[in-house]
Amino acid sequence: MALAQAIMTSLLDADLSGSELARDFEKSMGFFWQASHQQIYQELRKLSQKGWLNKREVNQTGKPNKILYGLTLAGRKALADWVYGPTRVQPTKDELLLKLYNLSEENAEHLIGEITQRREEVMQRLYLYETIRRRHYADPAALPVRHKGVYLALESGIHQGEQFLAWCDQALELLATV
Protein backbone atom coordinates (compact mmCIF):
# COMPACT_ATOMS: atom_id res chain seq x y z
CA MET A 1 0.00 0.00 0.00
CA ALA A 2 1.26 3.42 -0.81
CA LEU A 3 0.93 6.48 1.34
CA ALA A 4 -1.04 8.18 -1.44
CA GLN A 5 -3.82 5.61 -1.21
CA ALA A 6 -3.88 5.80 2.59
CA ILE A 7 -4.30 9.57 2.42
CA MET A 8 -6.98 9.40 -0.26
CA THR A 9 -8.83 6.77 1.76
CA SER A 10 -8.78 9.12 4.76
CA LEU A 11 -10.41 11.78 2.59
CA LEU A 12 -13.29 9.60 1.36
CA ASP A 13 -15.83 10.97 3.83
CA ALA A 14 -14.72 14.55 4.43
CA ASP A 15 -12.28 17.24 3.39
CA LEU A 16 -9.50 17.63 5.93
CA SER A 17 -6.56 19.93 6.56
CA GLY A 18 -3.08 18.47 6.67
CA SER A 19 -2.99 18.62 10.47
CA GLU A 20 -6.46 17.05 10.77
CA LEU A 21 -5.41 14.34 8.36
CA ALA A 22 -2.21 13.62 10.31
CA ARG A 23 -4.15 13.50 13.60
CA ASP A 24 -6.87 11.22 12.22
CA PHE A 25 -4.26 9.11 10.47
CA GLU A 26 -2.58 8.38 13.81
CA LYS A 27 -5.91 7.24 15.29
CA SER A 28 -6.92 4.87 12.52
CA MET A 29 -4.66 3.89 9.64
CA GLY A 30 -1.63 4.68 11.73
CA PHE A 31 -2.22 1.37 13.49
CA PHE A 32 -0.96 -0.42 10.39
CA TRP A 33 0.57 2.25 8.14
CA GLN A 34 3.13 4.71 9.49
CA ALA A 35 3.83 8.16 8.08
CA SER A 36 5.34 11.31 9.52
CA HIS A 37 3.60 14.67 9.28
CA GLN A 38 6.27 15.73 6.78
CA GLN A 39 5.58 12.69 4.57
CA ILE A 40 1.84 13.38 4.68
CA TYR A 41 2.30 17.02 3.65
CA GLN A 42 4.67 16.05 0.83
CA GLU A 43 2.17 13.49 -0.43
CA LEU A 44 -0.70 15.99 -0.24
CA ARG A 45 1.29 18.31 -2.50
CA LYS A 46 1.99 15.52 -5.00
CA LEU A 47 -1.63 14.37 -5.04
CA SER A 48 -2.79 17.94 -5.61
CA GLN A 49 -0.35 18.32 -8.50
CA LYS A 50 -1.72 15.12 -10.08
CA GLY A 51 -5.23 16.54 -9.86
CA TRP A 52 -6.38 13.83 -7.46
CA LEU A 53 -6.99 16.31 -4.63
CA ASN A 54 -8.41 19.79 -4.64
CA LYS A 55 -7.55 22.29 -1.97
CA ARG A 56 -9.38 25.28 -0.65
CA GLU A 57 -8.42 27.90 1.86
CA VAL A 58 -10.64 28.45 4.90
CA ASN A 59 -10.42 31.74 6.76
CA GLN A 60 -9.95 31.48 10.52
CA THR A 61 -10.16 34.21 13.11
CA GLY A 62 -7.04 34.68 15.19
CA LYS A 63 -5.21 31.84 13.45
CA PRO A 64 -3.60 31.34 10.08
CA ASN A 65 -5.99 30.23 7.35
CA LYS A 66 -6.13 26.50 6.87
CA ILE A 67 -6.09 24.53 3.64
CA LEU A 68 -8.67 21.77 3.29
CA TYR A 69 -7.96 18.89 0.92
CA GLY A 70 -10.64 16.82 -0.76
CA LEU A 71 -10.78 14.06 -3.33
CA THR A 72 -11.50 15.04 -6.92
CA LEU A 73 -13.40 12.75 -9.30
CA ALA A 74 -10.03 11.82 -10.81
CA GLY A 75 -8.74 11.00 -7.31
CA ARG A 76 -11.77 8.81 -6.58
CA LYS A 77 -11.23 6.98 -9.87
CA ALA A 78 -7.51 6.49 -9.13
CA LEU A 79 -8.38 5.12 -5.69
CA ALA A 80 -11.03 2.79 -7.15
CA ASP A 81 -8.54 1.56 -9.77
CA TRP A 82 -6.03 0.89 -7.01
CA VAL A 83 -8.58 -1.19 -5.06
CA TYR A 84 -9.02 -3.45 -8.11
CA GLY A 85 -5.27 -3.81 -8.62
CA PRO A 86 -3.09 -6.53 -7.10
CA THR A 87 -2.37 -6.31 -3.39
CA ARG A 88 1.24 -6.34 -2.29
CA VAL A 89 2.13 -7.93 1.02
CA GLN A 90 4.90 -6.07 2.80
CA PRO A 91 7.50 -8.29 4.46
CA THR A 92 7.78 -7.98 8.21
CA LYS A 93 10.70 -6.01 9.56
CA ASP A 94 11.08 -6.52 13.28
CA GLU A 95 14.38 -5.91 15.03
CA LEU A 96 13.32 -8.05 17.99
CA LEU A 97 13.11 -11.12 15.77
CA LEU A 98 16.52 -10.34 14.31
CA LYS A 99 17.94 -9.91 17.82
CA LEU A 100 16.61 -13.37 18.73
CA TYR A 101 18.89 -14.82 16.07
CA ASN A 102 21.69 -13.52 18.31
CA LEU A 103 20.35 -15.03 21.53
CA SER A 104 23.07 -16.08 23.95
CA GLU A 105 23.38 -16.80 27.63
CA GLU A 106 24.88 -13.33 28.08
CA ASN A 107 22.00 -11.41 26.46
CA ALA A 108 19.06 -13.70 27.29
CA GLU A 109 17.94 -11.59 30.26
CA HIS A 110 17.98 -8.44 28.15
CA LEU A 111 15.97 -10.09 25.37
CA ILE A 112 13.48 -11.43 27.91
CA GLY A 113 13.03 -7.83 29.01
CA GLU A 114 12.46 -6.71 25.41
CA ILE A 115 9.87 -9.44 24.84
CA THR A 116 8.15 -8.49 28.10
CA GLN A 117 8.10 -4.83 27.09
CA ARG A 118 6.74 -5.65 23.63
CA ARG A 119 4.07 -7.84 25.22
CA GLU A 120 2.97 -4.91 27.37
CA GLU A 121 2.85 -2.58 24.33
CA VAL A 122 0.71 -5.08 22.42
CA MET A 123 -1.61 -5.47 25.40
CA GLN A 124 -2.09 -1.69 25.52
CA ARG A 125 -2.82 -1.59 21.79
CA LEU A 126 -5.31 -4.45 22.15
CA TYR A 127 -7.05 -2.57 24.95
CA LEU A 128 -7.38 0.43 22.61
CA TYR A 129 -8.64 -1.77 19.76
CA GLU A 130 -11.22 -3.36 22.06
CA THR A 131 -12.36 0.09 23.22
CA ILE A 132 -12.78 1.19 19.61
CA ARG A 133 -14.62 -2.02 18.73
CA ARG A 134 -17.06 -1.67 21.64
CA ARG A 135 -17.63 2.03 21.06
CA HIS A 136 -18.02 2.07 17.28
CA TYR A 137 -18.55 -1.47 16.04
CA ALA A 138 -20.82 -3.22 18.54
CA ASP A 139 -23.12 -4.45 15.75
CA PRO A 140 -20.93 -5.15 12.69
CA ALA A 141 -23.83 -6.51 10.61
CA ALA A 142 -25.64 -3.15 10.86
CA LEU A 143 -22.66 -1.09 9.68
CA PRO A 144 -22.61 0.69 6.31
CA VAL A 145 -20.56 -1.24 3.75
CA ARG A 146 -17.34 0.81 3.96
CA HIS A 147 -17.42 0.75 7.76
CA LYS A 148 -17.63 -3.05 7.62
CA GLY A 149 -14.25 -2.90 5.89
CA VAL A 150 -12.85 -0.70 8.66
CA TYR A 151 -14.26 -3.14 11.21
CA LEU A 152 -12.57 -6.05 9.43
CA ALA A 153 -9.23 -4.21 9.47
CA LEU A 154 -9.70 -3.63 13.21
CA GLU A 155 -10.52 -7.30 13.72
CA SER A 156 -7.35 -8.26 11.86
CA GLY A 157 -5.34 -6.07 14.23
CA ILE A 158 -7.02 -7.69 17.22
CA HIS A 159 -6.33 -11.22 15.96
CA GLN A 160 -2.70 -10.39 15.14
CA GLY A 161 -2.24 -8.85 18.58
CA GLU A 162 -3.72 -11.89 20.30
CA GLN A 163 -1.49 -14.17 18.26
CA PHE A 164 1.57 -12.09 19.15
CA LEU A 165 0.68 -12.26 22.86
CA ALA A 166 0.52 -16.05 22.62
CA TRP A 167 3.94 -16.05 20.95
CA CYS A 168 5.34 -13.79 23.71
CA ASP A 169 4.06 -16.19 26.35
CA GLN A 170 5.63 -19.13 24.53
CA ALA A 171 8.94 -17.27 24.13
CA LEU A 172 9.06 -16.19 27.77
CA GLU A 173 8.31 -19.72 28.93
CA LEU A 174 11.10 -21.15 26.76
CA LEU A 175 13.61 -18.47 27.74
CA ALA A 176 12.89 -18.92 31.44
CA THR A 177 15.04 -22.05 31.24
CA VAL A 178 18.07 -20.23 29.75
CATH number at residue 65: 1.10.10.10
Q: Does some domain include residue 89? A: no
Q: Does residue 104 share a domain with residue 69?
A: no
* Containing structural domain, residue 52: 3-84
* Domain total of the chain: 2
Closest to 69 in 3D by CA, of 82, 56, 79: 56
Express each pLDDT in 50-80 by its tens digit. Answer: 999 999 999 888 888 999 999 999 999 999 9
Contact 22, 37 (CB under 8 A): yes
Express each pLDDT in 82-124 by its tens digit. Answer: 999 988 887 778 899 999 999 999 999 999 999 999 999 999 9
Say what percent of the chain tops pLDDT 90.
Answer: 69
Q: Does residue 59 share a domain with residue 79?
A: yes
